[in-house]
């Protein structure tokens, strides 16, 4: 049994326009369980770039809270468009388990087709490496460095106000509020 | 008696270096009581500038949550250095009461002397217009559009985890986390 007040880090990116170039804000919120926000981390990653894994590893490893993180929660496997995160490398280099939270069962074939179409087929390997998409209640997850049972326990503790973990919902509110002037929509 | 879940907006600014020029991020968090973060607003104001009142009025008035705000909580009367907020104008033009939260009893004479020294003596009028500094437990407040008793009730509801209202503490964590890469210190 995990404690109700375990510290987890939930990560989400800012919204951006299709025509936009450059970097996008990535926000990490440090939560105790599903209840209290203890801190905020941030980084910038390139739109459709390749630096998300490296930048997020750096953001996590330089945090003063790092030794207390029980888990890193990601809102999908990519940030800033197709800047795909290597979740195994993230788990290895931070020594913290990673859970990818997915709202709707992804159409993996469509994603692969799109990557080929936009000349980013080298990213297909990262998606395949992330492993199978596991159902968990009404949502789905991909895991690195953590078993299914423990991951479900973490969902139970952190999903206090919606279907997705509170730290991801908060990171979404913060990232969109800072970028657009007011937060909107769902994570 | 106010409801425990009244919506309040807590505002704080980002840290910046003394040598820095330009604009500073101002963050507003929308809270239900002292418990739940419902949304995030943001704006940018000039360091030691004169645009804080106007920018904050605009930020509040364009929020989708506006009709629900019972109170605006400010962390001190200025943001971005000496960008002093006209709290009476803020209360009038948003039609929402304003409470300035002050951690330590301010040395008003020292502030006035500094303003004269940096050739900003015209700002002294704004400080004087903000009215008396009222003790409330271990902190102090200045009020516009709200009475002392009701203000104390709002403090009771919003100060759930520290001496200062939770929406201000959150805005501080977010503003410093976004600007510095990791949040730090106390609001």
The pLDDT value recorded for residue A187 is 61
Number of neighbours of residue A15 by Cβ within 10 angstroms: 16
The pLDDT value recorded for residue A62 is 95
- Residue of B178, B179, B185 for testing the chain A interface, max A β-carbons within 10 Å: B178
Whether residue B17 has pLDDT greater than 80: yes
Residue B34: closest C-alpha in chain A: A36
Min Cα separation A57/chain B (Å): 13
What pLDDT digit, counting tens, does each position of A30-54 carry?
998 777 889 999 999 999 999 999 9
User: Taking residues A65-89, what's their average pLDDT?
Assistant: 95
Kindly indicate whether the ipTM for this predicted assembly is greater than 0.85, answering yes or no.
yes
Instruction: Read off the pLDDT band of A184 (50, 70, 90).
Output: confident
Q: How far apart are CA A180 and CA A22, in angstroms?
A: 16
The token duo for B140 is: 């102090």
B37/A182 Cβ within 8 A: no
Whether residue B40 has pLDDT greater than 90: yes
| Residues sharing a CB contact under 8 Å with residue B128, sequence separation 6 or more, in sequence order | none
> Which residues in chain B are contacts of A25 at CB distance < 8 A?
178
Write down the pTM of the prediction.
Answer: 0.92
Min Cα separation B11/chain A (Å): 13
Query: What are the phi and psi torsion angles at B52 (to 5°)?
Result: -60, -45
A64/B40 Cβ within 8 A: no
**pLDDT over 90 for what percent of chain B?**
72
What pLDDT digit, counting tens, does each position of A157-179 carry?
999 888 999 999 999 999 999 99
Of B25, B37, B181, the CB nearest to A41: B181
The pLDDT value recorded for residue B184 is 77
| Residues sharing a CB contact under 8 Å with residue A169, sequence separation 6 or more, in sequence order | A10, A161, A162, A186, A187
The pLDDT value recorded for residue B186 is 64
Q: How far apart are CA B124 and CA B113, in angstroms?
A: 9
């Amino acid at each position: 049994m995990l404690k109700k007040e375990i510290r987890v880090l939930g990560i989400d990116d800012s919204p951006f326009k299709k025509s936009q170039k450059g970097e996008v804000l990535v926000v990490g919120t440090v939560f105790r369980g599903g209840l209290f926000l203890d801190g905020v981390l941030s980084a910038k990653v390139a739109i459709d770039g390749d630096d998300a894994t490296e930048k997020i590893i750096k953001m996590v490893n330089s945090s003063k809270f790092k030794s207390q993180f029980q888990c890193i929660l990601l809102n999908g496997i990519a940030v800033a468009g197709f800047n795909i995160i290597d979740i195994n490398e993230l788990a290895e280099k931070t020594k913290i388990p990673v859970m990818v939270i997915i709202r709707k069962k992804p159409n993996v074939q469509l994603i692969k087709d799109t990557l080929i179409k936009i000349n980013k087929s080298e990213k297909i390997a990262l998606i395949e490496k992330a492993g199978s998409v596991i159902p968990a209640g009404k949502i789905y997850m991909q895991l690195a460095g953590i078993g299914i049972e423990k991951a479900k326990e973490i969902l139970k503790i952190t999903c206090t106000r919606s279907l997705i973990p509170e730290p991801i919902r908060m990171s979404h509110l913060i990232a969109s509020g800072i970028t657009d002037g007011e937060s909107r929509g769902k994570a």
